[in-house]
Amino acid sequence: MRPAAKAFGGRLLPALAALLCVAVLSACSTGSDAVATGGTFEFVSPGGQTDIFYDPPSARGTIGKLSGPDLMSDDGETVSVDDFPGQVVVVNLWGQWCGPCRAEAPALEQVYEQTKDLGVAFLGINVRDFQQDKARDFVVDNHIGYPSIYDPSMRTLLALGGNFPTSVIPTTLVLDRDHRVAAVFLRALLVEDLMPVVQRIAAEGAS
């Protein structure tokens, strides 16, 4: 079993790290209207782990305000983590240009459909897609039922605080019911990877 990572308070760094292509993960590299205000979460990946768990819950850090334009809206609507109070929120960073994102899309949708009655919400963040119509086609073609923020410049990620690996796409974060970071996956996921983690975190706040 991997040792639990520690989350602790940290100040928002003034700039994101340079964007790199992470070949080992087959991750491929890249609107400015996203709102991002830093929280107290500071990313820590002991030993370069790709599956990081922040336990106990009291040790988890909160993210800042994470919101932005709804990818599928033509009316200027926005979507935000704050739209899901008291729910577990699975945040997935994706791009239609990214092969691993295409591969994991059915698994994410399956977990979403099977856990939403447990008080679990999903929120995508579409990054580095400067042609919005192609990103929308990805959502339609993959029958994705949850919303995504359209953020080609990745400004929303400032809400995650400093040292977050913006070069790794796809990335998935699981926020607990208090919207603290409970888990981070720096790789494409299968149903069997994500489902038990989401179910466990959802059960933490079950009455």
Q: How many structural domains are present in the chain?
A: 1
Partners of 79 in beta bridges? 68
Residue-number span of the structural domain to which 176 is assigned: 33-204
Q: What pLDDT is attached to residue 21?
A: 31
Q: Residue 81: is its pLDDT beyond 60?
A: yes
**What are the tens digits of pLDDT across the range 111-165?**
999 999 999 999 999 999 999 999 999 999 999 999 999 999 999 888 887 778 8
Residue 10 covered by a domain: no
Q: What pLDDT is attached to residue 31?
A: 37
Residue 177 covered by a domain: yes
Tokens for 109?
A: 């949708």
Residue 23 covered by a domain: no
* Per-chain mean pLDDT for the chain: 83
Q: In what order do the strands lie in the sheet with 35-37?
A: 35-37, 65-69, 78-80
We report the CATH number of the domain holding residue 85 as 3.40.30.10
Residue 7 covered by a domain: no
Q: What is the pTM of this model?
A: 0.82
The more confident residue out of 5 and 23 is 5
- Tokens 């782990």 map to which residue? 49
Residue 117 covered by a domain: yes
Residue 109 covered by a domain: yes
Residue 21 covered by a domain: no
Residue 187 covered by a domain: yes
Rounded-to-integer distance, Cα 170 and Cα 172, Å: 7
Backbone torsions φ then ψ of 166, nearest 5 degrees: -70, -10
Q: What pLDDT is attached to residue 48?
A: 81
Angle at 164 between CA 22 and CA 190, to 5 degrees: 60
Q: What pLDDT is attached to residue 100?
A: 97
